[in-house]
Copies of this chain bind each other. A is one copy, B any other.
């Protein structure tokens, strides 16, 4: 249901009012630009509205109009109106707003999965977004959150993930900073091989950690990565089966957490060739 709105004060635009200063107002989720709006359509996120310039809406509706929920509000605005409402010049000219769906359970994420990522203490929205992008690209089936991890549905995470955070299932493990690790036992009992990523010299080479003694890939692998700076807590690493490292030259810094995770995704996929 496409409507032209030319009054910046129109209440139907409240979802994006002063968006410049808002990352996650009231838990709303924002898809910005045609690619990410497209990934929102058909996802489990309930669409509230699509807002954009006329031309952008034309092409978006041509591609996805048939998949939109019946009666979904589509608001056409001018560049000036959008800039005034959102508080900045949104040159992409298209965004969609969604509510948060019922969270996935851990069982939802693990069901049918062969490879998952588990995060502890990752506080940077850009790193979280990158990890979802790379997870989707390299065959990781889902993401589980331990303690101390930032909201993956912040605008910046959604954007950097290229919308994959809307498609790749994720769930939070129960517990506090010192108790969530217990839930890893359930994974082990369900046949998951738990692999901690760490720069520590005495860890196994990543390639060796992802295969058994006969060189065969583990059936189900959970890759754990820790926050920028401190990495995984000792408590978390002790709850895993093995510590794996990406070898680093002496005198250099450990890799960015998203880069480390991407290399682990690659190695996991490689082990399954």
Contacts and interface: CB of A to CB of B under 8 A. Distances in A.
B266 A137 contact: no
B252 A164 contact: yes
A136 to B, nearest CB: 5
Contact of A253 (B137, B205, B266): B137
Contacts of A246: 138, 266
Contacts of A262: 255, 259, 262-263
Interface of A: 130, 133-134, 136-139, 162, 164, 205, 207, 246-249, 252-256, 258-259, 262-263, 266-267, 269-270, 273
A163 B252 CA distance: 10
Contacts of A134: 255, 259
A253 to B, nearest CB: 6
B247 A269 contact: yes
Contacts of A253: 133, 137, 162
28 contacts: A130-B256, A130-B259, A133-B252, A134-B255, A134-B259, A136-B252, A137-B249, A137-B252, A137-B254, A138-B246, A138-B247, A138-B248, A138-B249, A162-B253, A164-B252, A205-B270, A207-B273, A246-B266, A247-B269, A255-B262, A258-B259, A259-B259, A259-B262, A262-B262, A262-B263, A263-B266, A266-B266, A266-B267
